Amino acid sequence: IENLELVLKSELAFIHKVHVKMILGYIYTIQEKYDRALELFMSVVKSGIETAQAYAAIGYIMHKKGEVKEAIMNLYRAIEIDPKNANAHNSLGFILAEENINLDEALEECRKAVDLDPDNPAYLDSLGWVYYKMGKLPHAKSYIARALKHAPENEEIKKHLETIINS
C-alpha cells in the first residue's frame, strides 16, 4: 500500500494515477478504511473520469457509512453510465431491500445482476434475500442454496440460508 501511495506523488501520467487510485480505493474498502477509500474514489470522479466502477464503489462505501440516500444516488449514477454493471445493480437491489425502501425495485435490480452474471454467489444471495424480505420463502431458499453451491464457505450466505430455513 505504501508503494502505491508513493506512486500518487510521482510524476506518472494522469491516467496511471487514476488506475492507482482505483486499486488503492478497493484495497482500503476491503480493509474497511472507508474514509480513505471514499477520498480516492471521489478524487477519480472529480478529476473528470466518471466510471461506473467508481460510482458503484462510492455507493457501497456510503451505505457502509450509513448514508443510504447518497449510496442509492451514486448507484443510480453508476447504472446510468453502464447499464450492464452487474455489481451496481446488485448493490442497489440489496440496499433497497435491506433498508426496506422498495422491494419491487430491489427485486428488479437483483434480477438484472443475476441475468448479467448468473453464477455470481453474491448476486444469487442478494436475489434470494430480496425474495426472503418479500416473504417468498421457496424462491428465497432456492437462490440462496444456489449461491451456497458457488461459495460454500461464505458465512453471510450460510447465515441467510439458516434464517430462511428457520422462518
Average pLDDT of every residue of the chain: 93
pLDDT class of 13 with cuts at 50, 70, 90: low
Task: Quickly count: other Cβ atoms within 10 Å of residue 166's Cβ.
Answer: 6
The conformational region for residue 100 under phi > 0 = left, psi -120 to 50 = alpha, else beta, is: left
DSSP-assigned letters across all residues of 1-41: -HHHHHHHTS---HHHHHHHHHHHHHHHHHTT-HHHHHHHH
pTM: 0.88
Q: Look at residue 28 in the predicted model and tell me its pLDDT.
A: 94
When pLDDT is averaged across residues 87-97 and rounded to a whole number, the result is 97
Looking at the predicted structure, is the pLDDT value of residue 20 above 90? no
Residues in the chain: 167
Full set of structural domains in the chain with CATH? 1-83 (1.25.40.10), 106-167 (1.25.40.10)
